[in-house]
Structure 1
């Protein structure tokens, strides 16, 4: 029965991935009439009103999104995107730079500079399409004036280690950047900019996705200092970064563009894909496999270990009482958890979830829990996530492994590699956060 549940979990997960296909999402959002009028969602744009068309952007799904634009637009003057290493596919007109993620690198900075080179000096007769997806924050790492890439890398690593949620991480990253927080629109102004966004954040907040390079920024330098103080990260941040944020809070540096700035009259954004769409298709697949199915939420966040315990509690309730679903049951959830790193192991939030769930559900028969990132990557590993059942810990202990020790050291990857319960998909070319499953036989 365990093997059947594993196979079903992968079938449901892949159905969710199919719903988040970036190329298809962009193609569905665009329609070009014979008269040259492009429909972008509910907005109509006459291409005859523009002399040049550019494509820029960043993210793990940047290549398939750009390819959809190449298939749709009659002509692209020039283009430049940045994507994660290993996420490249052939494009005809748009140039590609590969960069580091989740910690930015020099290649990403070169890509950001190339994008700025395209956007500087544009006019009202220019049209820019910007494709944005998860990973864009790390892949557009051009530091603000006075900061270095090494300082941004150190700040990013500190944010990752302390378990800060993506909203707080990106609030700070916007204020350490020369392009994020709406600043890409400032550079391209007065050109018209159309942003096509694949959401990888809870609530689809446009200013958070890839740190909102084309969106007004409601965050401030002062809020950045409050976030750092709350996480007690001051000692882990480079002095130059702290000095930059403090000067900004004192009014000595310009803020990022805010809501109401007239430059955004030339900027329009459309979300083409999200976690919710992925969960709906995964739900339909589960129903097709015979499961009584429900979506718990697409907005799950918090510490991965805590979220795992809640999911295990739901699994036990179904087994004991048939509430909230009768067996066979499938409960789905989306969103993105965090991990406060305390050990020196190797892992990611999905594998951390699975290891905590394995401990909580030890000895319980008839249930499988699964968690994986829709981008195919969980932390700095080659795995998307992992699955577990009531026998995972017993099998591990028979191999001489202590699940509690691996969890304490944040070493979930090596634990599941030994138990052979990793989920490995390779790059999926998309990213709509994580997908979790509870399957009850």
Structure 2
């Protein structure tokens, strides 16, 4: 695999604190490579002596009637590509749903392209076909379900009578703009859609064996998706809508379904005990912790002390940027909690609450612009933030990188970073400054990575 994931590396390391930027970019690229779905699947799944080996599971290929492959997500293609190469013509049928910017094809598995972050008709049709394949499995069959971040939008299917695709789009818009966490968003989705929250298992024959291969993109760090029983409730889903004052804005069909679920326990999502006697194996291929550990390891290889500050960073992006920058300044001035030269690593997923007329940007971009204002004048600090799937908000940037010279450079160019934050228009500023990070296909999605380097 080409180790250079960042396409505009030369541009973003050519100005400001060049050495700090080089180190920061190096750490980011190593971390992303460590959670690539293709590479991890090749290590976890292989065939030897006509035996299919999946981690600690072993299957005699001659005894398997059919092997099916289904899935969805922004990084699911990378896992599927590996499975396609490993299993080849052993695959009886397969279909995955990916983001519409994925252009590659596979030999034995069909690829459906759909919209993200807003669901569309292509995703709905893809979900119907995923369900069709899932229902084909019988005794002696093996079915792979490959899930990565973005699967919720890419594989929509309304659960209740009267809920339309347009209703799902509307509630998605509301949840994405209110500042809700991904866990809160998925709690609602799990209760208004047919396949989510473990419900796909109800449509798979109990005699079939299910293998879930999952790249985790939730702060909780737990496997999730259509093959993982849910622990939230209809009451929890309604609480999320109340918390963000969305009840009156949410389509009536969705509210009606949620309230019906409060009264009818049979509508509740499956609990783990429902599938206790089923052969279901959910395997986590990668998560944010693994990525942060790889970032730490690379920093130490480069001669820096390193500290994983957190893998569960949440909250408003600009607030997180200020906090992280403040810690970097404490390191620079007082050598606490670690002394330079060093790298601070923080993983997680921050959010942006939108209101009024907004520009263009994303959480990682807002985080670094807020940090740039805090570290202005520093000769040692570099801050980068990247969404690991390569797309930060509705932009072509994965994130951004700044240092102590960024504010001064912005002023010289007539760019008001304070106004950019206020209008959620950080993309245009970072792009103009040559500080937007543009990546190739990353083959992963494990939330966000924030790297702060404090070094001469």
TM-score > 0.5, shorter chain as reference: yes
Residue 6 and residue 247 in structure 1: after superposition, are their counterparts in 2 closer, same or farther (change >3 A)? same
Task: State the alpha-carbon separation in 2 of the partners of residues 124 and 94 from structure 1.
Answer: 22
Aligned to 2:159: 144
- Choose from 140, 153, 157 the match for 2:169: 153
1:179 is the counterpart of 2:195: yes
Task: State the alpha-carbon separation in 1 of the partners of residues 47 and 160 from structure 2.
Answer: 41
**For 1:273-292, what aligned pairs fall within 5 Å after superposition?**
273-292=286-305
Deviations 1:269-302 (A, max 9, x none): 1101111222222222222222222211222112
Task: State the alpha-carbon separation in 2 of the partners of residues 318 and 264 from structure 1.
Answer: 53
Task: State the alpha-carbon separation in 2 of the partners of residues 257 and 46 from structure 1.
Answer: 31
Task: State the alpha-carbon separation in 2 of the partners of residues 342 and 192 from structure 1.
Answer: 47
Q: CA deviation at 1:89?
A: 2.7
- Choose from 420, 427, 437 the match for 2:441: 427
Q: Could you say what secondary structure the match of 1:202 adopts?
A: coil
Aligned to 1:255: 268
Aligned to 1:47: 61
- Choose from 121, 145, 152 the match for 1:130: 145
Q: CA deviation at 1:252?
A: 7.8
**For 1:52-131, what aligned pairs fall within 5 Å after superposition?**
52-73=66-87, 75-131=90-146
- Choose from 240, 243, 249 the match for 1:230: 243
Q: CA deviation at 1:264?
A: 6.2
1:165 is the counterpart of 2:178: no
- Choose from 18, 25, 28 the match for 1:10: 25
Deviations 1:313-353 (A, max 9, x none): 11111111122222211111111111111341111110010
Task: State the alpha-carbon separation in 2 of the partners of residues 64 and 292 from structure 1.
Answer: 33
Aligned to 2:45: 30
Moved more, 418-427 or 90-99: 418-427
Contact kept, 8 Å, 1:377 with 1:427, in 2: the verdict is no
Q: CA deviation at 1:29?
A: 1.2
Deviations 1:55-86 (A, max 9, x none): 00011121121121122226100100001122
Contact kept, 8 Å, 2:148 with 2:217, in 1: the verdict is yes
Task: State the alpha-carbon separation in 1 of the partners of residues 105 and 337 from structure 2.
Answer: 47
Where does the alignment leave 5 or more consecutive residues of structure 1 unmatched?
none
Q: Could you say what secondary structure the match of 1:115 adopts?
A: helix
Q: Could you say what secondary structure the match of 1:282 adopts?
A: helix
Task: State the alpha-carbon separation in 2 of the partners of residues 377 and 319 from structure 1.
Answer: 31
Q: Could you say what secondary structure the match of 1:32 adopts?
A: strand
Asked which structure has the greater RCO (Cα within 8 Å, sep 6+), the reply is: 2
Contact kept, 8 Å, 2:67 with 2:91, in 1: the verdict is yes
Contact kept, 8 Å, 2:17 with 2:405, in 1: the verdict is no
TM-score (norm 1): 0.95
TM-score (norm 2): 0.92
How many residue pairs get matched? 436
Contact kept, 8 Å, 2:105 with 2:111, in 1: the verdict is no
**CA RMSD in angstroms, aligned pairs only:** 1.7
Contact kept, 8 Å, 1:382 with 1:426, in 2: the verdict is no
Residue 30 and residue 252 in structure 1: after superposition, are their counterparts in 2 closer, same or farther (change >3 A)? closer
Aligned to 1:400: 414
Q: Could you say what secondary structure the match of 2:211 adopts?
A: strand
Task: State the alpha-carbon separation in 1 of the partners of residues 160 and 238 from structure 2.
Answer: 19
Q: Could you say what secondary structure the match of 1:363 adopts?
A: coil
Contact kept, 8 Å, 1:64 with 1:89, in 2: the verdict is no
Q: Could you say what secondary structure the match of 1:379 adopts?
A: coil
Aligned to 1:246: 259
Q: CA deviation at 1:253?
A: 6.5
Aligned to 2:219: 202
Task: State the alpha-carbon separation in 1 of the partners of residues 235 and 263 from structure 2.
Answer: 8
Deviations 1:123-162 (A, max 9, x none): 1122101111111111111111421111101100100000
Contact kept, 8 Å, 2:306 with 2:342, in 1: the verdict is yes
Q: CA deviation at 1:429?
A: 2.2
